Amino acid sequence: MIELKNISKTYTLGNEKIYALKDVNLKIDAGEFVSIIGPSGSGKSTLMNILGCLDVPDDGEYYLDNINVAKLSDDKLAEIRNSKIGFIFQNFNLLPKLTAIENVELPLMYRGINNKQRHERVIKAVESVGLIDRINHRPNELSGGQQQRIAIARAIVGEPDIILADEPTGNLDSKAGKEIMDVLVNLNEMGKTIVLITHDLSISQYGRRIIKMVDGKFLPE
């Protein structure tokens, strides 16, 4: 499903060229749960942005379902982000003025799905994370763990094949963090491909495959 070939990404700091990623190769099959663990500055977030079609590498090739992502237009990339990939972020990224159900509904509105289908999908997604009784609450009326579960519902409402989770437990206590990881494990068991980025060794253990990242490179598995 995912294949990275010799991916490199550099940034310039003053006169110095810094590699965020250097000749990274990676294959992820459909249905896998892969944890990528590394310290701050190891290149994890850059990798996540490339996997999520939010950024492009300087060198190398990224194939998603055998399609070379680098050759796609901005519109096509946006279409992939909205239909094939679900994103979960550390800071939840919920819109504060919208209720939980309105936040979950947003991706479907962008896709022009009619009201009836939107409502059915949203209810199904919110039920799957166990928060149907909170659908009319705004983010500030929800705990951190509840906000992240609503964010997961938003990520899966478009029925993507891939879930990219960037430090999804980073702002949560251990109990809420475990609840979030249990939701991700359940999604994986339902067939979703999960790529988890974390610096937390205990959280990485939820993955079926763990890849360690240091200084823009993967350590041998």
The pLDDT of residue 217 is 92
Q: How confident is the model at residue 7 (pLDDT cuts 50, 70, 90)?
A: very high
Same domain, 169 and 76: yes
Which CATH number goes with the domain that contains 188? 3.40.50.300
Same domain, 138 and 166: no
Question: Phi, psi (5° rounding) for residue 99?
Answer: -75, 170
Q: Using CA of residue 177, residue 184, residue 125, residue 78, what is the dihedral sign?
A: positive
* Secondary structure (3-state) at 76: helix
Percent of the chain residues past pLDDT 90, beyond the cut: 72
Once rounded to an integer, what is the mean pLDDT over residues 174-178? 92
The pLDDT of residue 86 is 93
Percent of the chain residues past pLDDT 70, beyond the cut: 100
Domain span at residue 122? 90-159
Same domain, 20 and 59: yes
Residue at a domain's end among 136, 159, 182 = 159
120: left (phi over 0), alpha (psi -120 to 50) or beta: alpha
Residue at a domain's end among 132, 159, 186 = 159
Once rounded to an integer, what is the mean pLDDT over residues 37-54? 90
Once rounded to an integer, what is the mean pLDDT over residues 144-168? 94
Once rounded to an integer, what is the mean pLDDT over residues 49-72? 89
Q: How far apart are CA 180 and CA 169, in angstroms?
A: 7
The pLDDT of residue 168 is 93
Same domain, 105 and 60: no
The predicted model scores a pTM of 0.91
Once rounded to an integer, what is the mean pLDDT over residues 74-102? 90
Asked if the model's pLDDT at residue 21 lies above 90, the reply is: yes
Q: How confident is the model at residue 180 (pLDDT cuts 50, 70, 90)?
A: very high
Q: Structural domain tally of the chain?
A: 2
Residue at a domain's end among 159, 189, 208 = 159
Average pLDDT of the chain? 92
Q: How far apart are CA 105 and CA 135, in angstroms?
A: 11
Same domain, 106 and 165: no
pLDDT tens digits for range 187-200 = 999 999 999 999 99
Same domain, 131 and 40: no
